[in-house]
Amino acid sequence: MHSIDLIERTFPGRRSDLKRTILREALACFNEAGIEATNIETIRARCDTSVGAIYHHFGNKEGLVAALFFAALEDQASLRDRYLQTADTAHAGVVGLVYSYVEWVSAQPEWARFVFQSRFAVSNGPFKDELIARNQQRNQQLKAWMSGEGRKEHFNHLPAELIPSLIIGAAESYSRAWLSAKVKKSPFEYRELLADAAWNSLSLK
């Protein structure tokens, strides 16, 4: 699973060829030089297109960053939801949430690096309201799953806003270390240990 696959899944069809090229090169630029240091001209040169074409499709650099960020989050959520569809117990769901997270990071390291570096910019930029709306919509299935029969009692004792950190916190911390080459083994190789840590952090027996 490579970044090109994610882009093609999110922006399919022949008419989106240029849009996919721009996104692909923008992702590379942002990861190589950072968001602040990258400008539209740098991306334009790599795409061999016009500045007007980039602005036509994405508005500005903030629009490009947001388009990439939203594509990554939707792809990650799609994998998460596939895991949840087969989880019929609280334990299976927690394991599925951790497994889907580390599988996505391990399969999409360039996208994961971008998500980590762009989260603040999108959360505090002109697309913050859209991010809030997308987060709410994306998390509907997760909330519905947690409130299901035989599962809701396992989560009711915890503040709702704390649950994601308890489940994904260790996996995210290790993923950051792996993406910055501080550790060698991919997060997916430690999925069982990370899932156990998540389960234990919820004090679920």
From first to last of its 205 residues, the chain has per-residue pLDDT tens of 445 578 888 888 877 888 999 999 999 999 999 999 999 999 999 998 999 999 999 999 999 999 999 999 999 999 999 999 999 899 999 999 999 999 999 999 999 999 999 999 999 999 999 999 998 888 887 888 888 777 778 888 888 889 899 999 999 999 999 999 999 999 999 999 999 999 999 875 5
Query: Packing angle between helix 51-58 and helix 40-47, nearest 10 degrees?
Result: 110
- The span from the CA of 2 to the CA of 10, in Å, is 13
CB 65 within 8 A of CB 122: yes
| Total count of domains within the chain | 1
CATH number, residue 81: 1.10.357.10
Q: Hey, what's the torsion of the CAs at 141, 108, 191, 170, to 10 degrees?
A: -80
Extract the runs of DSSP E, i.e. beta strands, from the chain: none
Element (H, E) at 171: helix 163-179
- The span from the CA of 112 to the CA of 159, in Å, is 27
Domain of residue 83 covers 3-201
Task: Spell out the SS3 assignment of 38-66.
Answer: CCHHHHHHHHCCCHHHHHHHHCCHHHHHH
